[in-house]
Amino acid sequence: MKVYYLIFSLLLMVGDEVFAQNNIVLKSENNIIPTPEFFTSERATKSKFKNIEFNTANLTAEELTVMQSWVDKLFDTKKNSEAPPLKVDFTPAKSAESSSDMYEIAFSSNTIHVKYTSEASKLYAVSSFLQLINQKDSALFISPFRLKDKANFSWRGLHLDVCRHFFSIDELKRFIDIMAFYKYNKFHWHLTDDQGWRIEIKKYPLLTEIGGYRDSTVNDHYSTIPRTYNVEKYGGFYMQEQVKEVINYAQARNITVIPEIEMPGHARAAIAAYPELSCTKQKLPVVGLWGVFDDIFCSNEKTINFLKDVLTEVADLFPSEYIHIGGDEAPKARWKACGVCQNNIKKYNLKDEHELQSWFIKQMDEFLTKKGKKIIGWDEILEGGLSPNATVMSWQGNQGGIQASQMGHDVIMTPVNFCYFDYYQADSRYEPLAIGGLVSLEKVYSFNPIPPEVSEENKKHILGAQANLWTEYIPTYDKVEYMEYPRALAMSQNLWSLNKTTYDDFIKAIVEKQSFVLKAFNINYSQSFARPALSSKAMQSGVRIYGNSPDNKGVEIDINESGNKEFISPIHKDSVDINRSNEAMRIYTITATENRLNTSSSTQFYLHKGIGLNVELLTPPHPSFSNNPKSMLVDGFKGIRQWSNRDWLGFNDGNIEFIVNLDENITYKKVSVGLLSDHSSWIHLPKEVMVYASNNGKKWEKIASEQVKSERVEIKLDKKTKKLKFVIVPFNKIPEVFNGAGYHPFTFLDELIFE
């Protein structure tokens, strides 16, 4: 066995040269996701087969079932064909690389030979070569190839929140099956939260009986005022037998299920069932609103023992060595006012409530360590001192991960700006409701699990990463898939691939192959990544509008009102120019259509007298909200309520000043300033807008001073002038009743409409 393996390896090593002499394609143009480390193929030759036959010699019945189910999803091999079967055989290869699930595949004599170093690597091999097979009519085709591959990171995870919305066992199985196909190996199951307790705990039946259901659910985005509720009972839970079913299903696909039991925060569902677990012992309902709530687990002995009982059942149920104990977003208001909690601070010689939280987590760490388990906590568990055996899940950014790795702790990276798939994946104007933000496919693809600040020595502590799916705005399983795919393909590249391709090649793989795979698995994947975006640039006499598509295949721009149709190809080179004119404002619809994937997007364009005017920003915008600063305010596109950092300029440091140089050939009667109010995101209307006029930029005359009452402030322009200076005065602090009270508010500015 060993000798054969060695020869096989040598063959692979010299593969490049051998193949080069035969004029064979060397580049890894295989469209496999995640991209294998090494791949060569004779693409000119194709062999034809009628079906796929797995040699069961080294397969368990369970493995065969999974493999066969994938084949059945991808290909229709029921029809008769003259061609022979494509045989697949598996040979074990002892290797030091079994920990990275290394496998090799070679194709010869109508057979795919798989050499595997771990049980998991058998399925990884199958997922890879299935992506090389094409079906035409009733036959399967494959070209001779060699492939060698292994995993980059050992933690390749996806997280799913089943508390905000509940998903069935069958849906969880679908979630897990496609994960396995893309070589993920950790399923983080978020089982308890304020809005629902979802796992049966035999000792405490009320957890699911009461805590599994809420009476109402907030409609729309939770920041929408006034809030309205859907007053229907909502919920569900998994019995322990069902949990085992999920664990076993995942295990058959080499996926470990990591349960999360949240503490001390996000505990409202548990407290609804057993009010004595909280500091106030007040009877409270399971929450139907999203957010962070003050009522958390008390640090009293009864609650600590309750949680140990819960963790005992959880530890018995889940074979995973890791158990996630939450630890995030636990407000300390109740602990500050609680005699027992304050007494514990004194009794255990702690400095404050943060140290009390550390003490709390440490109780669980010690308890689970004795049971041979390890805890994972969100990065807040660093506050007040990190528990000795804890692994940190770094979500607020990279900082928690960097710090924990310096302390010698293991880390799983899941920074919100790259890994939160509940964020919008594209322009929110065209997307179904999401929590906010923007984590585009390209952004996900740019993610490196190892933050640059982590030293060579500490890299070993970064186990990998995972994408998280919080489901406040994801009521159906269809939408789970829509938010997850294809972003999970990008994440799989980041986690598995030692030979990650360029983003363009990744898009090519989606277009040419993965869209077929996802359809075959019946995944409701999003095509938003392919939607062309419109961007613009201020020019001397107007604006230039660009259509950008992800695969650079050309975009057709259609300008509705004028009937003007321009074909732009290839993109980034051509564009449509729209000139400023002295006429009354007109509103056009500009539609960009990407022909290859047949996606399009439309945007209202305001052709006003200020299009493309020269704007000098005297106050720089905040770096996070500073896209296209020269053109943003006069590009004809209005910022929208479902804002992202793309279409507003944001400021949060005192007065905002800028000068607009007017066009002498145009008569201006008024200008209006676009502003945004979104209190949940600290964005407030400013107090006042002042405007000054000047012909030389030295002597300024104040012409307007408007108190701001709405999101558009109008200023009359009576006299002819060359320059206008705007001074926008925000309030100094966010008032007490709002999110971010006491901090500087953000002012969001967009289109200045001149008429």
Position among 114, 140, 147, 338 found at the interface with Zn ion (CB under 5 A): 338
Token readout for 591 is: 């539609």
Residue 649 binding: pick among ligand ACM, Zn ion, none (C-beta 5-8 Å cut-off by kind): none
In 338-449, at which residue ranges do the beta strands (DSSP E only) sit?
A: 374-378, 391-394, 411-413
Q: Does 734 bind Zn ion (CB under 5 A)?
A: no
Token readout for 183 is: 């070589």
CB of 114 to ligand ACM, least distance (A): 39
Please say which residue, 221 or 608, places its beta carbon nearer to ligand ACM.
Answer: 221
Please say which residue, 113 or 324, places its beta carbon nearer to ligand ACM.
Answer: 324
The separation between CA 714 and the C-alpha centre of its own chain, rounded to angstroms, equals: 39
Specify whether 701 is catalytic: no
Q: Does 383 bind ligand ACM (CB under 6 A)?
A: no
**Residues that contact ligand ACM, how many (by CB under 6 A):** 4
Q: Compute the distance between CA of residue 174 and CA of residue 313 in angstroms, rounded to an integer.
A: 26
Q: Compute the distance between CA of residue 229 and CA of residue 547 in angstroms, rounded to an integer.
A: 40
* Distances, alpha carbon 157 to alpha carbons 149, 310, 363, in Å: 19, 24, 27
Residue 341 binding: pick among ligand ACM, Zn ion, none (C-beta 5-8 Å cut-off by kind): Zn ion
Q: Does 356 bind Zn ion (CB under 5 A)?
A: no
Position among 29, 53, 329, 657 found at the interface with ligand ACM (CB under 6 A): 329
Residue 67 binding: pick among ligand ACM, Zn ion, none (C-beta 5-8 Å cut-off by kind): none
Position among 132, 147, 298, 517 found at the interface with Zn ion (CB under 5 A): 298
CB of 388 to Zn ion, least distance (A): 24
Sign of CA dihedral 167, 173, 178, 179: positive
Q: Whose CA is closest to 77, among 49, 45, 37? A: 49
Q: Does 395 bind ligand ACM (CB under 6 A)?
A: yes
CB of 395 to ligand ACM, least distance (A): 4
Please say which residue, 164 or 580, places its beta carbon nearer to ligand ACM.
Answer: 164
Token readout for 369 is: 């360590």
Q: Say which of 193, 472, 481, 635 is annotated catalytic.
A: 193
Please say which residue, 298 or 717, places its beta carbon nearer to Zn ion.
Answer: 298
Q: Does 287 bind Zn ion (CB under 5 A)?
A: no
Specify whether 193 is catalytic: yes
Please say which residue, 395 or 588, places its beta carbon nearer to ligand ACM.
Answer: 395
- Which listed range, 115-123, 317-325, 332-340, 571-579, lies at the site for Zn ion (CB under 5 A)? 332-340
Please say which residue, 276 or 653, places its beta carbon nearer to Zn ion.
Answer: 276
Beta-carbon contacts of 402 under 8 Å, excluding residues fewer than 6 positions away, are: 394, 451, 453, 454
Position among 271, 314, 341, 533 found at the interface with Zn ion (CB under 5 A): 341
φ, ψ (nearest 5 deg) of residue 169: -60, -40
Please say which residue, 378 or 418, places its beta carbon nearer to ligand ACM.
Answer: 378
Query: Using CA atoms in the order 75, 79, 84, 89, what is the torsion angle rounded to 10 degrees?
Result: 40
CB of 270 to Zn ion, least distance (A): 14
Strand partners, 588: 605
CB of 396 to ligand ACM, least distance (A): 8
- Which residue is it, tokens 């996070």? 624
Position among 90, 335, 378, 637 found at the interface with ligand ACM (CB under 6 A): 378
Residue 340 binding: pick among ligand ACM, Zn ion, none (C-beta 5-8 Å cut-off by kind): Zn ion
Q: Does 25 bind Zn ion (CB under 5 A)?
A: no
Closest residue to ligand ACM in the complex (CB): 328
Site residues for Zn ion, 263-282, by CB under 5 A, read 279
- Which residue is it, tokens 């360029």? 502
CB of 296 to Zn ion, least distance (A): 9
Query: Using CA atoms in the order 28, 32, 36, 39, what is the torsion angle rounded to 10 degrees?
Result: -40
CB of 390 to ligand ACM, least distance (A): 15
Burial class (CB in 10 A: 0-12, 13-18, 19+), 540: exposed
Q: Does 340 bind Zn ion (CB under 5 A)?
A: yes
Beta-carbon contacts of 225 under 8 Å, excluding residues fewer than 6 positions away, are: none
Q: Does 546 bind ligand ACM (CB under 6 A)?
A: no
CB distance 154 to 464 below 8 Å:
yes
Residue 329 binding: pick among ligand ACM, Zn ion, none (C-beta 5-8 Å cut-off by kind): ligand ACM
Q: Whose CA is closest to 39, among 120, 119, 150, 134? A: 150
Q: Whose CA is closest to 30, among 140, 131, 141? A: 131
Token readout for 102 is: 């290394």
Q: Does 293 bind ligand ACM (CB under 6 A)?
A: no
CB distance 158 to 469 below 8 Å:
yes
**Residues that contact Zn ion, how many (by CB under 5 A):** 5
Residue 338 binding: pick among Zn ion, ligand ACM, none (C-beta 5-8 Å cut-off by kind): Zn ion
Q: Does 345 bind Zn ion (CB under 5 A)?
A: no
Position among 29, 89, 328, 706 found at the interface with ligand ACM (CB under 6 A): 328
For 104: left if phi > 0, alpha if psi spans -120 to 50, otherwise beta; the answer is beta
Three-state helix/strand/coil letters over 94-133: CCHHHHHCCEEEEEECCEEEEEECCHHHHHHHHHHHHCCC
Q: Whose CA is closest to 523, among 489, 550, 475, 549? A: 489
Q: Which helix (H) or strand (E) holds 303?
A: helix 301-317
Residues that bind Zn ion (CB under 5 A): 279, 298, 338, 340-341
Residues that bind ligand ACM (CB under 6 A): 328-329, 378, 395
Residues involved in catalysis: 193, 266, 329
